Structure 1
Amino acid sequence: MPPRSRKARAYDPVMTRTALLAQARALCGAVRGLAPEAYAAPTRLGAWTVRELVVHICRQVEILPRALAVDPPAGKPDVTLTRWALSTVRIAGLLDEDTREAMALTLDPSARLERACDALDAALAEGIPERLVLIALGTPGATMSAADFAVTRLVELVVHADDLRDAAGADVPLDRQALAAATRLLADALAEKAPGNAVELRIPPYAAVQCVEGPRHTRGTPPNVVETDPCTWLRLATGRTGWAAALEAAELSASGERADLSPYLPVLV
């Protein structure tokens, strides 16, 4: 029996706005507290230092106000949240190029992030508007609803807050709603990438999805179960940590002969 199609998860725009503004301000505070020498520290993002990471975070905060500042495109959205997640691999090179270009224009990354947060506050002062926005996803004219695009900004800010904590030891609080949204979106992206009902992925307290082709259980505990915490899941889903390393560190548990999700990871690059 083929796997049943999944209903797209909905995110409340009011909660999304609150979480996005909170997570952006949390990053502002953490970056403001960085010592000058911290900007030269390496990160787990290839050749990027903390300075590149912070400038990239600036760009992720700036992009929504800029998208809302232009006239909305017509029609219906053609990019869903899970499609966005699974398509980012196509623009990884463009994001690196964009960040390096922005580096040359950024004398003070902390001040730039403060300005970006102010612009985000202003753009969302009356809430997230019900309209479309153009997004850069390797396809000219790609559109999302503004509410969904705001959720993608939550994912970016939560993932990069964790990057900043890892690289600079920065105290970056993770907004609970932001972490929940990022966890759920990336779990849903895995379920779309590897459809099926043979494995249940549990990420308490935020998400549980079924994925991977194979025998489908009908009652009781499924035969293949993977369980981990939200931060470990984000690192697995984005390639920050590997499956074997997380297992060895007891950061996840996997039971059952099909409970190896490594062939389907990462889901967001």
Structure 2
Amino acid sequence: MTAALGAEARRLEEVLLGLTEREAVLPTRCAPWDVAALAAHTVGALVRVEAALDAQEPPRAEVSAAGYYAPDERFSPAVDADRIDSAVRAAAGRADAAEPGRRLRQAWAHLEPRLRDEPAGRVVRTRHGDAMALEDFLLTRVVELVLHGLDLADALGRPPWTSPQGAGAVERLLFGAGGRPAPMGRLEALRAATGRALQGGPGAGDLEGSGVRFPALG
């Protein structure tokens, strides 16, 4: 999963390092976040991996990547409010539009070699208290970068920069071994399953019978 996370991080880094101030204040579908706030939140999702590695290791994994997106207290109004406010504050305090990109570059430079050295079967605890296999937690980070990458691309009016590795990992999580409906493209299916359908494109109703796991998202 490290390879998929790295592929997404490098593509997102390139975009964020090139942001202008005009682009940073564009609205996104993740209201009330503008591009700067959404970028801060997305980079923060990656930074949380190092925090999880620094914490005491739980004795065993108890939550899967699919279970992480269950509709429970981690998506409660109070948690959502904190999630929203922290990103807004980070965006308001930025030095310039490219700051999230620099933060991402630094975070991944520290994190990538550390992940290579982690033993198989490593377990971490998330900020929500979930004991997860590191591989499953990394998959949730790929989900964050892929889906919010789509949100950022749409807000900026650019084609998606999603990597094949990242999109494939999220597709397997959402659709399992059965895969997405045959006529649907990979990004179309991810959009439809996560409330990001484009006007005129396939939506959640087009996934009926596919066995999709619709994730609870904040």
TMscore range, shorter length = 0.7 to 0.9
TM-score (norm 2): 0.81
CA root-mean-square deviation: 3.0
- Distance change >3 Å, CA 125–CA 171, structure 1 → 2: farther
Read off the aligned partner of 1:63 and give its amino acid letter. Answer: R
SS in 2 for 1:202: coil
TM-score (norm 1): 0.67
- Distance change >3 Å, CA 165–CA 130, structure 1 → 2: same
Which structure 2 segments of 5+ residues have no match? none
Task: Tell me the residue number matched to 1:268.
Answer: 216
Task: Tell me the residue number matched to 2:202.
Answer: 251
* Equivalences for residues 18-167 of structure 1 within 5 A: 18-74=3-59, 76-87=60-71, 89-90=75-76, 91-107=79-95, 108-126=99-117, 129-137=120-128, 141-167=129-155
Higher strand share: 1
- Distance change >3 Å, CA 95–CA 187, structure 1 → 2: farther
SS in 2 for 1:153: helix
2: CA distance between counterparts of 1:159 and 1:250? 17
SS in 2 for 1:228: coil
Q: What is the aligned length? A: 209
- Distance change >3 Å, CA 169–CA 181, structure 1 → 2: same
Offset at 1:131? 1.6
Which structure 1 segments of 5+ residues have no match? 1-15, 192-199, 205-226
1:158/1:178 contact within 8 Å kept: yes
1:62/1:119 contact within 8 Å kept: no
Offset at 1:237? 2.1
Q: Identify the structure with bigger relative contact order (alpha carbons < 8 Å, sequence gap 6+).
A: 2
Read off the aligned partner of 1:228 and give its amino acid letter. Answer: M
Offset at 1:95? 2.2
Task: Tell me the residue number matched to 2:190.
Answer: 234
Higher helix share: 2
1: CA distance between counterparts of 2:102 and 2:158? 17
2: CA distance between counterparts of 1:112 and 1:20? 16
